[in-house]
Amino acid sequence: MTRMLIIGPPGSGKGTQADRICGVLGIVAISTGDIFRANVKGETPLGIEAKKYMDNGDFVPDSVTNRMVRDRLAQSDVAEGFLLDGYPRTSPQVDELDDILGAAEASLDVVVQLTADDEELVKRLLGRAVETGRSDDTEAVIRHRLDLYREQTEVVVSRYAERGILAKVDGLGEMDDVTARIMDAINKVKGEAA
């Protein structure tokens, strides 16, 4: 069983690698974006509350996000493990996740941080913007998003590094090579923790 988190800057291939890792390990991918959309679509009380913020272009507050993640982690399909993508993003969310998992006498096994050179990420994201027709993804906007990512995740990354469960993996290169590096890193961290 593996309980893990994958984090990385925009354009690092996080979503693609999350799907691949889950396929290899036979675990469930849990994306906060997917949780938000499912709750909004299902018109759950949390979804209705989250939609108010999303419609205004605001971040959904930690209190709402935490309750959604708590509900999702209580579902039976996560019993054999899971991969979180997009949560936790702040130190209070790390505390909340610790509380959620601690109630089930569990904890995260590994945190994979995909790394990549900013210039390569900008190039990738500009290319993706052209392919998808996203005119809002300018170089200035992309660089701002990369700065925000670093500001938000620095404390999260350092907290998991202190626990000895952080694995930094180069997110650049062929997809299969990146997946192989991630699997090696997961096995190394889990082996050291055993």
Q: Which residues are catalytic?
A: 14, 89, 128, 134, 145
23 is in an annotated binding site: no
Give the burial class of 95: count Cβ atoms within 10 A of its Cβ; 0-12 exposed, 13-18 middle, 19 or more buried: middle
Give the burial class of 174: count Cβ atoms within 10 A of its Cβ; 0-12 exposed, 13-18 middle, 19 or more buried: exposed
58 is in an annotated binding site: yes
128 is in an annotated binding site: yes
36 is in an annotated binding site: no
SS3 83: strand
User: Residue 183: which residues within 8 A CB-CB, separation 6 or more?
Assistant: 21, 24
88 is in an annotated binding site: yes
134 is in an annotated binding site: yes
- In the annotated binding site, the residues are 11-16, 32, 37, 58-60, 86-89, 93, 128, 134, 145, 173
Enumerate the known binding-site residues for AMP: 32, 37, 58-60, 86-89, 93, 134, 145
Annotated binding site for ATP: 11-16, 128, 173
